[in-house]
Structure 1
Amino acid sequence: MNPFILQMVNHKLNTLTKEELIQYAKQYQFKISDAQATKIIAILRSERIDVTNKAQRERILAKVKQQIDAKTEKQVNEMLKQYDQYL
């Protein structure tokens, strides 16, 4: 993968706002509340995201499942699956 594109994707994930997350959820036809989006952003901000790090993604999804719920974890995973090609 092009290192420049990888850097752009990682930057976007690391600077994602709650409002953008809600928009992405709508785009992927998921419903998340304002409170859930706030929690997800806090989880994402807990470490510097590297889209190519599969173990990190699993850790983040586990945190979402633990701190929010399994349904939201599955929805976040669906949104992140678009980056599977980079793993």
Structure 2
Amino acid sequence: MRIFESIINHKINTITAEELVKYANQFNISVTRAQAKKIAEYLRGKNINIFDDGQRTRLIREIAKAAGPQTAREVNKLFTELAKK
């Protein structure tokens, strides 16, 4: 299970705006390209573990500041879906 978590976290920490939009569309989550760009820029280079509740919560708060609370809720849904797979 650790390898799976590492792969998901690596993808989150290196995701591009285009990839974020693609994944959001797969899970029927509404994220604009502009919002995806802001989120991807924030994530790039950070070593965030979305499987850690505390880290994910802090990340979602930061996304809410950058892209708004509704987008943060949508991204949290996406992260939750990715963590379930």
Tell me the TM-score range normalised by the shorter chain.
0.7 to 0.9
Match of 2:60 in 1: 61
Answering whether residue 81 of structure 2 is matched by residue 79 of structure 1, we say: no
Match of 1:47 in 2: 46
1:33 maps to amino acid: T
Compute the TM-score of the two structures, normalised by the length of structure 2.
Answer: 0.84
Gaps of 5+ in 2: none
2:19 maps to amino acid: E
Q: How many residues align?
A: 83
Gaps of 5+ in 1: none
- Aligned 8 A contact 2:14 2:43 in 1: no
Please give the alpha-carbon distance, in whole angstroms, between the structure 1 residues aligned to 2:45 and 2:67: 15
Q: What root-mean-square deviation, in Å, do the aligned CA atoms of Structure 1 and Structure 2 show?
A: 1.5
Could you report, residue by residue, the CA deviation over 1:3-46 in whole angstroms, capped at 9, with x for unpaired residues? 22122111111121111101111111122221111101122126
Compute the TM-score of the two structures, normalised by the length of structure 1.
Answer: 0.83
- Aligned 8 A contact 2:29 2:78 in 1: no
Please give the alpha-carbon distance, in whole angstroms, between the structure 2 residues aligned to 1:19 and 1:44: 14
Structure 1 pair 46–65 and aligned structure 2 pair: CA distance change class (3 A): farther
Looking at both structures, which has the greater relative contact order when contacts are Cα pairs under 8 Å and sequence separation is at least 6? Answer: 2
Match of 1:23 in 2: 22
Please give the alpha-carbon distance, in whole angstroms, between the structure 2 residues aligned to 1:5 and 1:46: 20
Q: Share of identical aligned residues, percent?
A: 31
Larger Rg, first or second structure (1 or 2): 1
- Aligned 8 A contact 1:51 1:57 in 2: yes
